[in-house]
Amino acid sequence: MEGYLSIGEAAERWGVSERRISQYCAQGLIPGAKRLGGAWVIPESADRPSGSQPAKPGKTPELFSHLMPLMNTPFSPGQCRQAIADMKAGPKRDIALAEYHYFSGQAEKAMTETERYLTAKNGAIRLSACWLYAFACLTMGRPDHARHALREIQSNLESGGESEPALRAAQAFVAFGAAVLLHLPLPEEMPPAEDFLPLLPPGLRAFALYVQAHYLYLKGEYGRSVGVVEATLTMGAHAYPISAIYLHLVGVMSYMSLKQTGRAREHLLEAWELAQPDDLIEGFGEHHGLLGAMLEATIKPEWPEDFRRIIDITYRFSSGWRRVHNPVTGHDVADDLTTTEFAIAMLAARGWTTQEIGEHLNVSANTVKAHISQAMKKLNVKNRKDLKKHMLR
């Protein structure tokens, strides 16, 4: 009689995380896998799934097929470009390619590819182009162009009060994402999330829930944030790699704020496992300062070249972000901290001790103190209490 492997044994054999094995089982990608006593068991003869496509979502309004189409397409890690190639030539595939270029850190290509669709007649294509163009322009040092695209997104929301439900949901989804991810106030016209979330197809809904988790994080509701992350991933968001990467990253942010470094590291490695085969590294750069030095502790030692590319994205994106964020919010977010100083200062502001930070980064207490001292000097603050007020506002 054939024997079975536990989740842990299968993870060790295939060189992936236990969470990924559970995801394979839940998707039905491992023949013969079954639940036994509340846990999955896997036949000893089973092979790791390779290139298997998750089940396609059910039929949704035509509008949604053109709204961030790559984000809303299920594909296996490593199959991103093929998923785009399988799309019919036209605006939808053009936007999907721009998504790929943006999420793989190629902002200049994304900016060029979306610019011609900023006034497209198709509402979903236009919204997608504006969103991608705005964020690409931040990285490319073109804040005025980014502001123009962001105003177009808000204008769509303001004028869409009588829109049919699917279009209204699309407008709200994009406006919600743009505002929260740039840490800007929500538009006054923003409908409640429960009004538009159920109308979104699975891939977009997963990303919208990431935005909701990010919003809860910004409000300091870390427990609720990780609850949204874990529930969304459990319900199949991992089938949509772009959304899943961002969900895992906000999971890192909130778990680090809760000082649960083990869970934070698991989520970071899950995100990296999804991202690396297709080079989808943009999100790591965007979130760097909020990840609690987890990139320095986990990615830098094993993947130093990728880490350098991520830091380059961080500097370029954050510079553009500040030029849009600061004038709107009135916050004078400093632009002269190094990424290491910022990460350590954020941990200190979260209440981490010098010893805890040193152990996390595997550096001496004196090194931590030096970084904190330099950060405080640049920020013109005198103690950790003031540092907390500055970093967490």
Three-class SS state of 40? strand
The backbone torsions φ and ψ at residue 85, rounded to the nearest 5 degrees and listed phi first, read -60, -30
Distance CA(68)–CA(189), nearest Å, equals 22
Q: Residue 8 has what pLDDT?
A: 85
Q: Residue 93 has what pLDDT?
A: 97
Distance CA(31)–CA(166), nearest Å, equals 37
Which residue is listed with tokens 């740039």? 182
In the chain, what is the greatest distance between 2 CA atoms, to the nearest angstrom? Answer: 70
- Could you tell me which of 207, 215, 213 has the C-alpha nearest to residue 183? 215
The backbone torsions φ and ψ at residue 79, rounded to the nearest 5 degrees and listed phi first, read -110, 20
Taking only the tens place, the pLDDT of each residue in 25-58 is 766 678 888 877 667 888 888 887 754 444 344 4
Distance CA(147)–CA(52), nearest Å, equals 41
Taking only the tens place, the pLDDT of each residue in 296-311 is 999 999 999 999 999 9
Q: Residue 142 has what pLDDT?
A: 92
Distance CA(34)–CA(166), nearest Å, equals 38
CA distances (Å), origin 102, targets 21, 118, 139, 156: 29, 16, 10, 23
Query: Are 309 and 282 spatial neighbours (Cβ–Cβ below 8 Å)?
Result: no
Q: Determine how many CB atoms are found less than 10 A away from the CB of residue 46.
A: 19
Q: Residue 324 has what pLDDT?
A: 76
Taking only the tens place, the pLDDT of each residue in 148-164 is 999 999 888 887 655 67
Tokens of 294: 């987890």
Query: Are 343 and 296 spatial neighbours (Cβ–Cβ below 8 Å)?
Result: yes
Mind listing the pLDDT tens digit of every residue in the chain (393 residues)? 468 888 888 888 887 777 778 767 766 678 888 877 667 888 888 887 754 444 344 444 578 889 999 999 999 999 999 999 999 999 999 999 999 999 999 999 999 999 999 999 999 999 999 999 999 999 999 989 999 999 999 888 887 655 678 888 999 999 999 999 888 888 888 888 888 898 999 999 999 999 999 999 999 999 999 999 999 999 999 999 999 999 999 999 999 999 999 999 999 999 999 999 999 999 999 999 889 889 999 999 999 999 999 999 998 888 887 777 655 544 554 556 777 888 788 788 877 888 888 888 878 888 888 888 888 887 888 777 777 666 655
- The sign of the dihedral angle between the CA atoms of 98, 101, 106, 109 is negative
**Angle CA 146–131–158, to nearest 5:** 90
Taking only the tens place, the pLDDT of each residue in 158-210 is 876 556 788 889 999 999 999 998 888 888 888 888 888 989 999 999 999 99
Q: What is the pTM (predicted TM-score) of this model?
A: 0.79
List, in sequence order, the alpha helices (H) in 288-334. 294, 300-302, 304-329
Query: Are 313 and 306 spatial neighbours (Cβ–Cβ below 8 Å)?
Result: no
Query: Are 137 and 168 spatial neighbours (Cβ–Cβ below 8 Å)?
Result: no
Q: Which residues contact 15 (CB under 8 A, 6 or more apart)?
A: none
Can you count the helices (H) and strands (E) in the chain?
A: 22, 3
Question: For residue 379, what is the enclosing H or E element?
Answer: helix 365-379
Q: In what order do the strands lie in the sheet with 4-6?
A: 4-6, 39-43, 34-36
Distance CA(171)–CA(129), nearest Å, equals 13
Q: Residue 161 has what pLDDT?
A: 55
